Amino acid sequence: MKMLIDEKAHFSTPVKRIFDSQCTLDFQSSVAIVRLKYFIQKYAKIINRTLIPQGPSHIPIVNEIVDVLNYMSLLIDQTPPFEGPRRYGNLACRDWHAKVDEEMPSLWRKVLPSKFHHCIVELVHYLGNSFGSATRLDYGTGHELSFLAVVGAIDMLGLFTEEFQGGDFLLIMNAYYAVVRKLILTYTLEPAGSHGVWGLDDHFHLAYIFGSAQWANYKEAPLRPRDILNHHFIQEYAHLNLYCQTIGFIYQVKRGPFREHSSMLYDLATTVHTWTKLEMGLTKMYAVEVLNKFPVVQHFWFGTGFYPWVDNRTGKLLPIYDPADADRRNTPQIGGNYAAFMSSINSPARSSPPITSQRVPTTARTQVRSQARMPPARTRMGPPTSRMTNTTVHHDLTKK
């Protein structure tokens, strides 16, 4: 699957398209999600039996991206946290985000050839959203997904030549995760949308997929999945493998028995015996618990070039929900206006039934004429209703 962006393609500032569960469902058929899944599979394949390199790449664009990430790490050093105890993140993180946002366009102009400068409008958004929220002072799997989108976008531009190997991808991801861990520790960022002890990890998921992919189908792998429970093994291989690296971060920030504060990772270590099966299970889990969860993907925005809000099968624009219409929907209407609105935001296969008036049976004392009532308005920014929510699925990775 070769996806190179035409130099004449139109790029625009990414906008929000996912407002509720129906939009999340539309996202599942989009060009954007097909490309994101493709890059997950591609990079997991090329890093197989590959350790994180301990030196620079021979591909200039890879080293330039790593240099940008190292510069962001330097900006953290130049933006110390404010003194004093704070429960929900240190406000100095917003100053760091402001510095990054200010320099982001010029950084991209240095990295990209001039013929691709028209793509910067989208790259700025995805990279800026890869380091957590300056508003909520948190970081989670949605931000991790945004950085995957950055790497995939550069790939789509054709800047990763045929010489691009798994080690080059690992160099980029290693530098990225180093910045993120430094942000979390320096500014005490909150987990974004964490399931607590019932989730895989407070902050990451792709790191586990790629880390297990490094040792999948590799009989000579130095560790087995259960060996991650040994702190000494983790320290020995953290600089070589993303799975070990991420587990090592847990040992750094959490105290107490591993089986208590990271119960799912503990279960995986004790019940899944091969890296191959672990990678497969984590990838399936990612499709359900990240790419198909409204609280996560609502923060992934869509441009017109790299990740468009377009149906992958038909090539047509997916239904667009205008949140401004929610205010009008709070005003009772009768009949066709609401039905027409519903028809405009849902897929053609789904048509809204007409709303008709009903008469309430009368009694001897009163006679009430009912009026057509509006269904509850779609939530503008909040989570989906319980009726539409995808419940958390228990993933048994011990089964093939």
**Vertex 302: Cα angle to 347 and 339 (nearest 5):** 25
> For the segment 381-400, what is each residue's pLDDT rounded down to a tens digit?
444 443 344 444 555 555 54
What are the tokens at 31? 């060009």
Per-domain boundaries in the chain: 21-297, 323-357
Q: Which pLDDT belongs to residue 319?
A: 95
Q: Which of 376, 379, 381, 388 is nearest to 338 (CA)?
A: 376
Containing H/E element for 286? helix 275-289
Average pLDDT (148-153) is 98
Structural class in CATH, domain 21-297: mainly alpha
Cα(106)–Cα(256) distance, integer angstroms: 45
pLDDT of residue 110: 95
Q: What pLDDT, on a 0 to 100 scale, did the predictor assign at position 357?
A: 40
Q: Give pTM, 2 decimals.
A: 0.81
Q: Is 168 helix (H, G, I), strand (E, B) or coil?
A: helix
Q: What is the pLDDT of residues 31-80, one digit of tens each?
A: 999 999 999 999 999 999 999 999 999 999 999 999 999 999 999 999 99
Residue 356 has pLDDT above 50, yes or no: no
pLDDT digits (tens, 9 = 90+) for 332-351: 433 333 333 334 334 444 44
Looking only at the bridges linking them, the beta strands covering 138-139 and 190-191 are parallel
Quote the pLDDT of residue 199.
Answer: 75
Beta strands in 85-199 (DSSP E): 138-139, 190-191
Question: Rounded CA gap, 263 and 190, in Å?
Answer: 20
- How far lies 245's CA from each of 173, 352, 383, 388, in Å? 11, 50, 33, 37
Q: What pLDDT, on a 0 to 100 scale, did the predictor assign at position 324?
A: 66
pLDDT of residue 397: 56
State the Cα–Cα distance between residues 119 and 116, nearest whole angstrom: 6
Q: Do 51 and 166 form a contact (C-beta atoms < 8 A)? A: no
Q: What is the pLDDT of residue 9?
A: 79
The span from the CA of 16 to the CA of 142, in Å, is 14
Gap between the Cα atoms of 230 and 98, Å rounded = 40
**255 vs 208, more confident:** 208
> Residue 156: is its pLDDT beyond 60?
yes
- The pLDDT value given to residue 323: 72
Residue 88: what pLDDT?
78
Per-residue pLDDT of 203-254, as tens digits, reads 999 999 999 999 999 999 999 999 999 999 999 999 999 999 999 999 999 9
Tell me which residue of 18, 135, 16 sits closest to 383, measured CA to CA.
18
Give the separation between CA 286 and CA 132, rounded to whole angstroms: 19
**pLDDT per residue as tens digits for the range 270-298:** 999 999 999 999 999 999 999 999 999 99
Segment 252-264 shows an average pLDDT of 91
Percent of the residues in the chain that have a pLDDT greater than 90, as a whole number: 72
The stretch 242-271 carries a mean pLDDT of 94
Please determine, for residue 194, whether its predicted confidence score (pLDDT) is greater than 60: yes
Q: What is the mean pLDDT of the chain?
A: 84
CB contact set of 19 (below 8 Å; sequence gap of 6+): 298, 321, 323, 378, 379, 380, 381
Beta bridge partners of 191: 139
